Amino acid sequence: VLPFPSQVVYNRVGKCGSRTVVLLLRILSEKHGFNLVTSDIHNKTRLTKSEQMELIKNISTAEQPYLFTRHVHFLNFSRFGGDQPVYINIIRDPVNRFLSNYFFRRFGDWRGEQNHMIRTPSMRQEERYLDINVCILENYPECSNPRLFYIIPYFCGQHPRCREPGEWALERAKLNVNENFLLVGILEELEDVLLLLERFLPHYFKDVLSIYKNPEHRKLGNLTVTVKKTVPSPEAIQILYQRMRYEYEFYYYVKEQFHLLKRKFGLKSYIRKPRPRPEFFIPSPLETEEPIDDEEEDDEKWLEDIYKR
């Protein structure tokens, strides 16, 4: 009898800690004996209908229990007659994600001085060393929409409108988070994400937190940190916030849902004393302060209901 659930998809969002999580999954798959199905395709998130059918077929026929991971926008398995898997994902502050990607494409990380040249070999020198403020203030394509509309399509799906910044894609993404994702965590609270994954999916994630905290693993994780990052000017950041307002609405929605989930399991979301923030920063919603302790709902029954969606 296969563990329940036996089909998990981590359609990882770029530059949201996914390489750290995949490092952990490689260790966990050997430790727990599940089938880790990865993809070498990193730059094709949008698929034609036939490509969706082919990928879903390949995933669905993998040896179970499996965990499939790839940078790909949400796939609706049931649309093509397949069994809908359990989805998990992690996102982060949209501006921080964008900046990490901007400099990673140009300069890579600590794993090697030249790995960025392998990743973007055709990038011209003037583009590689383009000042981030110039890119934003002078409205270069890389620093303006639709390229800044990045996180939401991973949850909205493969419909063409999912790539158009607007309310339609935002609301569809929220709906999919509620109906198809067991957990969407935030990178800023990664240890709590791992803790909940260990609780929800023990066959896949048992002992993940102890592995993550192991000094040897932390040393490997540090190699994936993007190098040569600089902070844009306040004016440039203000423009980014304006361009990414839908991304932020989605991020704060996911963050709120994640904190509600933490409260259900007695995890606190501590409110740090806020630093002075310039006017251009979008105020975040009130974070949860105390765990809920007056609800007697059976945690296992609640998990079972999620798996049955």
Residues classed as catalytic: 71
User: Got the DSSP string for 196-209?
Assistant: HHHHH-HHHHTTHH
Please list, in sequence order, all residues whose beta carbon lies within 8 angstroms of the beta carbon of residue 295, skipping any fewer than 6 positions away: 264
What does the alpha-carbon distance between residue 304 and residue 309 come to, in Å, rounded to a whole number? 9
> Which one, of 141, 175, 130, 129, lies nearest residue 155 by Cα?
175
Sign of CA dihedral 111, 113, 119, 125: positive
What does the alpha-carbon distance between residue 83 and residue 106 come to, in Å, rounded to a whole number? 40
- Cβ distance 248 to 152 under 8 Å? no
What does the alpha-carbon distance between residue 247 and residue 145 come to, in Å, rounded to a whole number? 11
Q: What are the C-alpha distances in Å from 109 to residues 25, 101, 143, 215, 274? A: 20, 11, 21, 19, 30
What does the alpha-carbon distance between residue 101 and residue 94 come to, in Å, rounded to a whole number? 11
- Cβ distance 132 to 99 under 8 Å? yes
Q: Which amino acid is at 148?
A: L
